[in-house]
A and B are shown apart, each in its own frame.
Chain A
Amino acid sequence: MTPRVRGIPAETVSPARGQPVVLGPPGPEPEARGRFGEFGGRYVPETLIPALMDLEGAFRQAWSSDSFRGEFAALLTSYAGRPTPVTECHRLSERLGLRVLLKREDLTHTGSHKINNVLGQALLTRDMGKTAVIAETGAGQHGVATATAAALFGLRCKVFMGAVDVDRQARNVFRMRLLGAEVVPVQAGSATLKDAINEALRDWVATVEDTHYCIGSVVGPHPYPWMVREFQRVVGDEARAQCREILGGADPEYVVACVGGGSNAMGTFAGFLDTDARLVGVEAGGDGLESGRHGASIARGVPGVLHGARSYYLQDEHGQILEAHSISAGLDYPGTGPEHAALAAAGRATYAHATDTQALEGFKLLSATEGIVPALEPAHALGWLAAEAGRAVPAGSTVLVTLSGRGDKDASQVAELLGEPLE
């Protein structure tokens, strides 16, 4: 029985909270050669191909093995603190004229959904007999999560992070070092997430024999987009059951999540693909799409190949990849995962955007109405919802938003942007 909290109806806290995680059935594999429609694939130097084939085989076997799945579920329960609840937002709902539910990934250990994926990949790393992991990170959430899992499993850990992000996410850099990881600032290019992935791939080309590359999103060469979606689908599977509990058996009419590479969105969407819910990914609108300074790769990108996968990327007329821009380090990426590209091309999901300003509005709105400080990444989803409530999202709609992480990491950046610097 879930305890009844004063002032909040009991059904707003999922009955699954406090119970062991029960994984849903595995989702579909991509088509041949790691394809989602025409997207995906495995476009990497030959040196990495055998490792990717091994990883694909190891994951396929693990994901159909009861012992692996049992161990993963147990870690999600006892270590990550799952299941996370779905919280009904009464005051926000009243403000927006909608019925808003939040999937609370901010309540996981390390403070974002990233922990789900890294626990799965750390288990696989151990099973493959590798002794080290490398990772890229933008906002630092995936870097912290990887460093955490590496500490838990006794793996050496190196995290590549754009030098710009090292500066704007100093707190997470400290956390990673505390957890025993080496943080490598990357100066190349725009010195953000894209360049961190480039450098991680270069490192992996040299270290592949004893090192696993723990990619943090549904990007990269096959099998990563598939594997990371599967490790994240617990978000969507839980949320669907919890929403049905709250909504009397119904699914939400809208399911909304922010999209950089797109792992929280893909994990969420995976639970709702076979429902009637409208799936909306919210990309980083930066200074606005017309400014050219944004991260809206589905809205403004064209098909191309970067970091091992065919998807939508921001690029110039010669096929050079352009720099993205976002207030949020986690969305500052000029591409998106290939399965999102396929969902967009098929019309199964739509992709909108929120500007930096709208994201800040979302950040403040959730804090003030619900006492929940969101990370800047899901603040985009909230900012979009606030802007579109009663417009693209009709009044009275039920909406699930995945709150992919908490905003502690962003406090000093936002304080500065709001003219109240903490220093």
Chain B
Amino acid sequence: MNLEAHLRTRREAGQKLLVPYVTGGLGSAWLDVVRAVADAGADAIEIGIPFSDPVMDGRIIQEASRRAIEIGATPANIINDLAKVDIAVPLVVMTYYNPVQHFGHRRFAASLTASGIDGAIIPDLPLDELTGSLASNGGEPSWADAADEAGVETVLLAAPTTPDARLAAICARSRGFVYGVSLLGVTGERDKLSGGALEMGRRLKAATDKPVLLGVGLSTPEHAVEATSVADGVIIGSVLVRRLLEGGGPEQAGALVAAFRQGLDG
């Protein structure tokens, strides 16, 4: 499946896009959580591959990552397990660069493709490092080249601090969609939609025709509705993962995503 084509089709059908985040390997039922989230109306699903030092993540995702690693989650296991999930929406992994470079660019990209995973988000691999090759890795191509060769769409983040010229370059290089960071800060639930969220969405929509999704801090269906007054869709993470940490399973995850879906569908 092609992530960008899929999201464009949905957008053109008049749908606001909803991409929930699930931490891979968090409990034995995590694949059922992914299926339930898909059934509840997700347009794509972000799968977190936990890293020991997640600097873009707040307490909820940190804790989920810690627990998943503790019970044996590894990048290879998570990617292999996803091959077993037969759902009708694209999958995107979200992880940090160290596990990716440790795996090897080519090998990581190939294993994503082999498991039917369409995209990757690597928040600590910004535009400037994305295209850098590593001479020491036996002449490995840059992540950008390795991912492009394998057909893995690498989603780039744009931030409120990103100047306009750079924003355009990020939009041009991003594949699948453009991830607009809605606030200055790390992932985690917030009471209100950040004042900068709509501005971020407007700037991105003016810069690109690719699907624009806002993420980080979006915590209620109301936030999602407000955000999609300018953006094409939203990413929800901590609000969902908190329910899993509190003992919720596929049913609770599905119900939460359904509530966001209902809100967005108005």
Chain A interface (Cβ < 8 Å from any Cβ of B) = 33, 38, 41-51, 188-189, 194, 198, 201-202, 205-209, 303-308, 310, 313, 315, 318-321
Contacts and interface: CB of A to CB of B under 8 A. Distances in A.
Interface stretch (B6-14, B153-161, B253-261): B153-161
19 contacts: A33-B132, A43-B125, A44-B55, A44-B126, A45-B157, A46-B157, A50-B159, A50-B162, A198-B54, A202-B55, A202-B57, A205-B56, A205-B185, A303-B136, A305-B124, A307-B53, A318-B74, A319-B102, A320-B99
A46 B158 contact: yes
Given A38-B136, A305-B97, A320 B69 contact: yes
Given A46-B159, A201-B55, A206-B185, A319 B132 contact: no
Contacts of A305: 97-98, 101, 124
A308 B132 contact: no
A49 B98 contact: no
Contact of A319 (B98, B161, B163): B98
Interface in B36-70: 51-58, 62, 66, 69
A42 B97 CA distance: 12
Contacts of A48: 161
Given A49-B126, A194-B53, A319-B99, 12 more contacts: A33-B128, A33-B132, A38-B134, A46-B158, A46-B162, A47-B181, A49-B161, A49-B162, A50-B162, A205-B185, A318-B75, A321-B98
B181 A304 contact: no
A46 B186 contact: no
A320 B76 CA distance: 13
Given A33-B132, A205-B56, A321-B52, A46 B123 contact: yes
Contact of A209 (B74, B158, B161): B161
Interface in B123-181: 123-129, 132, 134-136, 156-163, 166, 170, 181
A39 to B, nearest CB: 9
Contacts of B185: 202, 205-206
Interface string B97-116: 11111110000000000000
A46 B98 contact: no
B184 A209 contact: yes
Contact of A304 (B54, B74, B98, B127): B98
Contacts of A206: 183-186
B262 to A, nearest CB: 31
Contact of A43 (B75, B76, B97, B99): B97
Contact of A45 (B53, B103, B126): B126
| Chain B CB within 10 Å, residue with most, of A38, A51, A209, A318 | A318
B62 A45 contact: no
Contacts of A194: 53
A70 to B, nearest CB: 32
A321 B161 contact: no
A202 B128 CA distance: 21
SS class of chain A's interface: helix, strand, loop or mixed?
mixed
Contacts of B181: 45-47
B136 A320 contact: no
Q: Nearest 3 CB-CB pairs, A to B?
A: A319-B102, A319-B99, A206-B185
Contacts of A198: 53-55
A315 B102 contact: yes
Interface residues on chain B, size class: 35 or more
A206 B160 CA distance: 11
Interface string B9-28: 00000000000000000000
Contacts of B183: 206
Contacts of B129: 33, 41-43
Contacts of A42: 126, 128-129
Given A38-B134, A319-B101, A44 B124 contact: yes
B132 A50 contact: no
B132 A41 contact: yes
A227 to B, nearest CB: 18
B173 to A, nearest CB: 12
Interface string B176-205: 000001011110000000000000000000
Contacts of A320: 51-52, 69, 99
A189 B135 CA distance: 32
A42 B125 CA distance: 8
B64 to A, nearest CB: 13
Nearest to A47: B159
B53 A321 contact: yes
B137 to A, nearest CB: 9
A209 B132 CA distance: 28
B141 to A, nearest CB: 15
A188 B62 contact: yes
Contacts of B170: 46
Contacts of A33: 128-129, 132
A319 B126 CA distance: 19
B95 to A, nearest CB: 9
Contacts of A47: 159-161, 181, 184
Contacts of A188: 62
Nearest to B134: A38
Contacts of B103: 319
Given A44-B55, A205-B185, A315 B161 contact: no
A261 B86 CA distance: 46
Contacts of B101: 304-305, 319
Contacts of B97: 43, 305
A325 B11 CA distance: 52
A313 B98 CA distance: 10
A280 to B, nearest CB: 24
Contacts of B123: 45-46
Contacts of B53: 189, 194, 198, 306-307, 321
Nearest to A50: B161
A315 B101 CA distance: 12
Nearest to B76: A318
